[in-house]
């Protein structure tokens, strides 16, 4: 397929339109599905409450290693679900899944805890919604894909740009209509000052946190207060830095918009260039190039300084010879070359239909402009569960975007370009890089592989 002209190349839309999203609700079975949640922090609750908004489900089980967070989530569910029943609570996901009585499982844990619970959930018979990125190394991410296929389960990844109403609109009105013309370059970026700048001392974990279980297969670092909640993103031991957190969204969005598969080569450079005093060990400056057929996508992040385009600090820019498409979580704009009609759209807010979006912003820190995207993603997942088809952010698509970002970090670490063999899941001619595709797991946890699931 020629990637440079998308008028003919882009076929049937992969995302649900507003009409299809509404009709998806009609195929949901009348009997409430039983839901379990592993990880009841920020996005675990955001995802769950939006599922409750669009589907007649019964939340029966919650799991978290923070007893305080777990109790608060149980209170929220008891108040919001129609049955007013309080879900069972667990501190170990294995005990929750051993009940084998849930139909749907949401996984909202830190990144280093995505792979093992997702694999065990599909083995236990559940269809899964797992947050991005799929894993913290390529091998465990590939194992997640293998498990979903082996156990014939529908797995949706939380790359919800694919279900964002205004971005679906941009794809339909600009890309599918051929308004960009020939496309050979795209930029994706994040200039949020989101990297922790703190340097706290070692301290004892709070009594409500099981830090041993929280750490799980990751290296056991001294607890310093940044690990929980949310600031664990400061450490490569638990994730993949800003590339794994933010690039995965924008790279995935462009891949979806232009119907791209795997990159052939990945090159990245950067490091800690400015903020050398904080405890964080993720890069504060990084550039990565993802080379596809006839198309390069270049990522840049800086957690310091100004964004080149202040209106698009976390965004994608797709350049065609007939115009440029700007896309972010808040809006999109099409700027034609040589005159012509400018097009634009913005995030969909549905406060009248879903008034809980407003009070949620304090209790859940709900990103209000993303609420409609989460709902669309949930409806798409449920429709795929009913049809036994693939959702728009199927685990394979999540694996491609996540693994590509992991390869970018490996390229930066090794200071060389990595040529990727997608069929064999290997870096071509680079034994050192291939040895780094799987991180070492802390005992007694066992690293999954595509052959072992």
Based on the number of CB atoms within 10 Å of its own CB, is 222 exposed (0-12), middle (13-18) or buried (19 or more)? exposed
**Separation CA 420–CA 78 (nearest Å):** 48
- A 10 A CB-CB count for 18 gives 13
pLDDT of residue 30: 53
Domain architecture of the chain: domains with CATH:
13-161+387-394 (3.40.50.720), 164-352+398-435 (3.30.360.10)
223 vs 54, 213, 215, CA distance in Å?
A: 39, 13, 10
Residue 8 three-state SS: helix
Helix then strand then coil, % of the chain, to nearest 5: 35, 20, 45
Q: Which residues contact 412 (CB under 8 A, 6 or more apart)?
A: 268, 269, 270, 271, 283, 286, 288
pLDDT of residue 1: 30
What is the torsion angle, in degrees rounded to the nearest 10, for the CA atoms of residue 196, residue 201, residue 203 and residue 209? 0
């089980």: which residue's tokens?
Answer: 61
pLDDT of residue 27: 44
Residue 214: half-sphere exposure toward Cβ, Cα within 13 Å:
25
Note whether 149 and 122 are within 8 A (CB). Answer: no
**Separation CA 108–CA 124 (nearest Å):** 18
- Strands in 34-38's sheet, in edge-to-edge order, are 88-90, 58-63, 34-38, 104-107, 127-130, 155-157
Return the beta strands (E) in 136-233 as ranges: 155-157, 183-190
Task: For 60, list phi and psi in degrees, rounded to 5.
Answer: -105, -20
**Separation CA 266–CA 91 (nearest Å):** 39
Q: What is the largest CA-CA distance in the chain?
A: 64
**The whole model's pTM is what?**
0.93
Task: For 35, list phi and psi in degrees, rounded to 5.
Answer: -115, 140
> pLDDT below 50 — which residues of the chain?
1-29, 361-362
pLDDT of residue 17: 46
Angle formed at CA 203 by CA 303 and CA 199, multiple of 5 degrees = 25
Residue 174 three-state SS: helix
pLDDT of residue 359: 58
First to last CA, the chain: 34
pLDDT of residue 339: 85
pLDDT of residue 363: 58
């Amino acid at each position: 397929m020629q990637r440079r002209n998308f008028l003919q190349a882009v076929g049937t839309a992969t995302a649900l339109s507003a009409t299809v999203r509404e009709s998806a609700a009609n195929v949901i079975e009348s009997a409430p599905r039983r839901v379990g949640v592993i990880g009841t922090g920020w996005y675990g609750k955001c995802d769950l409450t939006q599922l409750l908004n669009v589907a007649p489900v019964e939340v029966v089980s919650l799991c978290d290693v923070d007893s305080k967070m777990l109790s608060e989530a149980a209170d929220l569910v008891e108040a919001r679900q129609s049955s007013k029943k309080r879900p069972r609570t667990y501190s170990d996901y294995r005990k929750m899944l051993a009940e084998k009585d849930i139909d749907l499982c949401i996984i909202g844990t830190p990144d280093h805890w995505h792979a093992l619970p997702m694999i065990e959930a599909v083995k236990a018979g559940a269809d899964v919604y797992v947050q991005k990125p799929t894993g913290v190394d390529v091998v465990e991410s590939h194992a997640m894909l293998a498990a979903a296929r082996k156990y014939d389960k529908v797995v949706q990844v939380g790359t919800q740009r694919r279900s964002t109403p205004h971005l679906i609109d941009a794809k339909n009105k600009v890309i599918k209509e051929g308004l960009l013309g020939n496309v050979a370059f795209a930029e994706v970026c994040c200039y949020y000052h989101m990297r922790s700048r703190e340097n706290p001392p070692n301290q004892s974990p709070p009594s409500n946190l099981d830090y041993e279980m929280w750490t799980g297969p990751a290296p056991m670092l001294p607890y310093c207060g940044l690990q929980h909640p949310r600031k664990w993103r400061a450490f490569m031991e638990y994730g993949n830095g800003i590339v794994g957190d933010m690039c995965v969204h924008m790279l995935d969005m462009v891949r979806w918009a232009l119907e791209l598969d795997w990159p052939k080569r990945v090159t990245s450079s950067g490091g800690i260039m400015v903020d050398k005093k904080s405890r964080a060990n993720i890069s504060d400056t990084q550039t990565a190039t993802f080379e596809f057929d006839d198309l390069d996508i270049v990522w840049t992040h800086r957690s310091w300084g100004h964004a080149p385009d202040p209106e698009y600090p976390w965004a994608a820019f797709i350049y065609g010879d007939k115009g440029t498409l700007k896309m972010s979580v808040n809006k999109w704009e099409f700027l034609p070359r040589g005159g012509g009609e400018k097009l634009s759209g913005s995030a969909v807010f549905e406060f009248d239909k879903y008034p809980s979006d407003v009070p949620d912003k304090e209790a859940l820190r709900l990103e209000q402009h993303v609420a409609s995207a989460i709902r669309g993603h949930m409806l798409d997942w449920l429709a795929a569960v009913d049809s036994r088809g693939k959702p728009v952010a199927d685990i394979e698509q999540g694996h491609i975007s996540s693994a590509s970002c992991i390869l970018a970090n490996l390229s930066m670490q090794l200071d060389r370009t990595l040529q990727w063999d997608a069929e064999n899941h290997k870096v071509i001619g680079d034994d050192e890089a291939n040895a780094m595709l799987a991180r070492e797991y802390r005992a007694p946890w066992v690293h999954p592989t595509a052959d072992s699931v």
